């Protein structure tokens, strides 16, 4: 099996921080159902409530507003299903956890984005005028491009028309300051494994005025908003990961400098390559880059053989590369969209990893360019 020493796919999942592993391991050596009234159960409950307080402090929400889930996919499903009777407006660049849920509910109304990957607020107002009392879902940071969306402005506009507003904040929550109250949204989805925590645990923050119908039935856990035994160890890992984010935020300028240096090398070697969303405000550690004339599946295989783990900016199905809906929504043509990869870094990244990727990218591009020319 080919070893992959350089991991540059943090947007897919971040490595778990060692301190989080220690915290989770400690809890896994204990036992007790957080719903039980005996001492073991009360200990488990305190673990859960401490994590709830940690998320509350980080995202500026009340502890009572935080509902723990199995991940952001469940959080998104919960938010959308709770308001399935309303007209549903979602942006054209949402994660499949939102788009597929919206399609399963009915026919969502699609909010356009610019060629720079930012939602069109004028179009949003048009849609709200035609569909008052709607449900609006706009992500905070696009998972493919890293482009930051004007969620606060969108929420303020939507509230003028009586809308309920949901935000998938998964890709932003570990890379930038997120303030639930300041954003003005009604619901916010989070995921632990995108910020140094364990997989399989997330949260939905819910405003006090929102009556949330549970999506997961079967118990009265999470204040009757999400049935099922709490994943105590996972929740503890989530809370601990959130408590460690200040160390990441202290070096985001460094991460951004590394990314800018990496992208500059690509531009110099391939002037026709597209850095998707480069003109927009982006989070510090995500790049979406096209390699002219070279399909992304070819790139991924070559980089994997070189010991570099990155991901595709397009979805692959049955061996056929399909253009990413996100890139299509931005007006990027099919040839470019099927040549895009995503590079994402984070707390464990070293600058030489991006330097190695830039070197490998340029070598592959030059080799393929000569083959195409021949």
Q: Which residues are catalytic?
A: 316
Cα 104 from Cα 76, distance rounded (Å): 13
CA 346 to chain CA mean position, Å: 13
Cα 120 from Cα 109, distance rounded (Å): 13
Sign of the alpha-carbon torsion through 331, 334, 340, 342: positive
Cα 273 from Cα 313, distance rounded (Å): 14
- Report which of 266, 296, 265, 290 is spatially closest to residue 277, judged by C-alpha positions: 290
Degrees to nearest 5, angle at CA 66 with 200 and 249: 75
Whether 80 and 98 have beta carbons less than 8 Å apart is answered as yes
R_g over Cα of the chain: 21
The token pair at 158 is 């939507």
Strand partners, 370: none
Strand partners, 90: 110, 137
The token pair at 170 is 């998964």
Looking at the chain, list the stretches that DSSP marks H as alpha helix, in order from N- to C-terminal side.
18-28, 39-59, 72-82, 96-105, 121-130, 151-159, 180-183, 221-224, 232-243, 245-249, 252-269, 296-305, 325-329, 334-337, 351-373
Looking at 215-374, list the stretches that DSSP marks H as alpha helix, in order from N- to C-terminal side.
221-224, 232-243, 245-249, 252-269, 296-305, 325-329, 334-337, 351-373
Sign of the alpha-carbon torsion through 52, 182, 196, 22: negative
Any idea how long the chain is? 374
- In 3-state terms, what secondary structure has residue 12? coil
- In 3-state terms, what secondary structure has residue 89? strand
Phi, psi of 212 (to 5 degrees): -95, 115
């Amino acid at each position: 099996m080919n070893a992959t020493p350089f991991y540059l796919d943090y947007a897919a999942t971040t490595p778990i921080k060692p301190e989080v592993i220690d915290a989770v391991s400690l809890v896994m050596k204990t036992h007790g159902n957080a719903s039980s009234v005996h001492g073991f159960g009360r200990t488990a409950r305190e673990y859960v409530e401490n994590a709830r307080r940690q998320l509350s402090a980080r995202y500026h929400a009340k502890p009572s507003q935080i509902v723990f889930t199995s991940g952001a996919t469940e959080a998104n499903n919960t938010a959308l299903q709770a308001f399935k009777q309303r007209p549903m407006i979602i942006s054209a660049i949402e994660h499949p956890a939102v788009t597929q849920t919206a399609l399963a509910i009915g026919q969502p109304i699609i909010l356009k984005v610019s060629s720079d990957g930012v939602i069109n607020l004028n179009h949003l107002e048009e849609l709200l005028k035609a569909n008052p009392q709607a449900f609006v879902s706009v992500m905070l940071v696009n998972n493919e491009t890293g482009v930051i969306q004007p969620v606060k402005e969108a929420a303020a506009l939507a509230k003028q028309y009586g809308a309920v507003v949901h935000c998938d904040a998964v890709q932003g929550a570990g890379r930038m300051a997120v303030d639930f109250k300041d954003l003005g949204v009604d619901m916010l989805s989070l995921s632990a494994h995108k910020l140094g925590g364990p997989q399989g645990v997330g949260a939905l923050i819910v405003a006090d005025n929102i009556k949330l119908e549970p999506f997961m039935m079967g118990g009265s856990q999470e204040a009757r908003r999400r049935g099922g035994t709490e994943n105590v160890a996972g929740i503890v890992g989530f809370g601990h990961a959130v408590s460690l984010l200040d160390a990441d935020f202290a070096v985001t300028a460094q991460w951004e400098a590394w990314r800018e240096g990496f992208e500059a090398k690509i531009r110099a070697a391939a002037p026709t390559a597209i850095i998707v969303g480069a003109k927009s405000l982006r989070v510090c550690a995500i790049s979406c880059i096209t390699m002219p004339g070279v399909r992304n599946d070819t790139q991924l295989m070559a980089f994997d053989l070189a010991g570099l783990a990155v991901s595709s900016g397009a979805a692959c199905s049955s061996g056929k590369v399909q253009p990413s809906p996100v890139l299509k929504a931005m007006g990027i043509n099919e040839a470019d969209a099927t040549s895009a990869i995503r590079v994402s870094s984070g707390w464990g990244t070293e600058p030489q990893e991006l330097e190695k990727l830039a070197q490998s990218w340029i070598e592959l591009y030059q080799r393929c360019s000569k083959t195409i020319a021949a």
